[in-house]
Amino acid sequence: MRRALLGPLLLALALRLFAVLATDRVAADVERYQRVAGHLLDVSWNPYETKRLYPYPPPWAAAEAAAEWLARRGVGSFPVNVKLPVLAADLLLVALLAAAARAGRASPLAPWLYAAHPVSLLVGGVHGQFDAIPLLFLLLATEALLRGRRDASALALAAAIATKSFPVLALPFLAFGTRESWRSAARYTALALGPVALVLLPFAVADFGALRRELFGYGGIADFGWTGVLRGAEWLATSALPRSEARFWPVASFLSKALVLAAWAGLVLAVRSGRLRLGAERAILVTLLAFSSLYGLQSAQYLLWAVPFGLLWPGRAAALHAAAATVGLMGFYLFLAPGTLLPAPLEGRAALLAGRLWVGGAAATLAVVVLVSRTLIAPDQFPADVNRMAQAPSETAQAPLVERGLERDKAAEKAPPAKEPAKSSLRLEAPMRRANEVGASKQAAEAAPAPPPSSVSTRPLPSAHRCRPWAIPFQPPSTSRPGPATW
């Protein structure tokens, strides 16, 4: 077990250390981190007093301040220090995927694929964005829920929401779980949102206007998503690149929020009512992909959101997403974020090529997530979360089995006792009696009533037949030996 985990961990550590050390520069978001850290150390404890610099929940501000405090005392450089928590989160994600693979809830390739995933390397190691931290807590919340630890799952989700706001979209799917009661869901919601409210309370008391403006009023950046594609298309057509901030795209910002909220509410109602049979992992993946499809003002780090859940059972769609997102990110960093990937900005034809890579990659990524989102929620592709039902049958499914067992016990008690044969005839009648018993057992098995449709076997299905959240539909077992499923 340790050897199986050591390989992907060493690979992830080597690749990310190389990326972090090779991009030891203050550029793009790392520069904003440093400005916020200087404000916290020299001016005020409230990061929301800085304008348009800190659109995150409060805990990450402590990491920024700690990185600058260490750098001022000669311990490392600020770009390296501020990326170390992201590197640690990536390593823990690899370990969590490996644990899920050992438990049969993920592909054995999942930790290896995430360790070498180019989107994770670019977003965390090069860009310095910390989305791997909330994704780690979100996946941990899902795994804890599947193990029956609801309170631990809720607290892990609270840590995810307190790091970045987007994991709150997973709350309904985790709170209700496998048809949980409203009381149980309310307890889960209180444990998930209560700590976040307590963290935000001092900042709301100090300056609620700044908190509302910087955190709740953030609308995104039109670098990716359908608005990013429109922005890139306008640049290709006119050679004039529009501004990316949300205030320059008011209609697109309003429409994006309306579309995402409507789609999210519809998905929650469909899953809660049973019209869509989705497990927690797949429901979260569909939600993140729907956000990527419908929200127009996306930053580069948003392309990482679907990666950990998509790699649980990877298929061709995961490879297509990785390729398209990598092309888009490479073009973006070279064209729109100079200093992030290379020390000097590109000029002339090289900059033009980088811009075209950005637009093409953004459009290809949008096409992939739209296609995969439609596939995941198609009722003919995914009629039910069969594997989850098979591993954890509900009380309703177990009830007919228990009733039939009680009926058999009562019938056995009422049956008259059989007469004992004479001792002298036991030796002669033994072979014939054994043959009669075998024949009677066969007849009883053939005459036994078939189990009702609601009963579900408690034996887990083979791994090749499990519903794969990213791209693989459920295939019923056939008479021949099953092979690996593909999408």
Every domain of the chain and the residues it spans: 1-217, 219-390+465-475
CB 134 within 8 A of CB 164: yes
CB 310 within 8 A of CB 386: no
Q: Which residue has tokens 């439609």?
A: 374
- Residue 49 DSSP SS3: helix
- Does residue 391 have a pLDDT over 70? no
Per-residue pLDDT, averaged over 17-32, amounts to 95
Beta bridge partners of 412: none
Q: Which residue has tokens 């049969």?
A: 104
What are the pLDDT digits (tens) for 148-191?
999 999 999 999 999 999 999 999 999 997 678 899 999 999 99
pLDDT at 410: 56
Could you tell me which residue, 100 or 438, shows the higher pLDDT? 100
- Does residue 462 have a pLDDT over 60? no
Could you tell me which residue, 219 or 486, shows the higher pLDDT? 219
By residue count, the chain amounts to: 487
Characterize 305-327 residue by residue with b for buried, 16 or more Cβ atoms within 10 angstroms of its Cβ, and e for exposed: bbbbbbbbbbbebbebbbbbbbb
What are the pLDDT digits (tens) for 397-450?
344 444 555 555 555 555 555 555 444 444 445 545 555 555 555 555 555 555
What are the pLDDT digits (tens) for 234-278?
999 999 999 999 999 999 999 999 999 999 999 999 998 888 888
Distance in angstroms (rounded) separating the CA atoms of residues 375 and 379: 9
CB 57 within 8 A of CB 215: yes
Q: What is the model's pTM?
A: 0.79
Angle at 277 between CA 275 and CA 283, to 5 degrees: 110
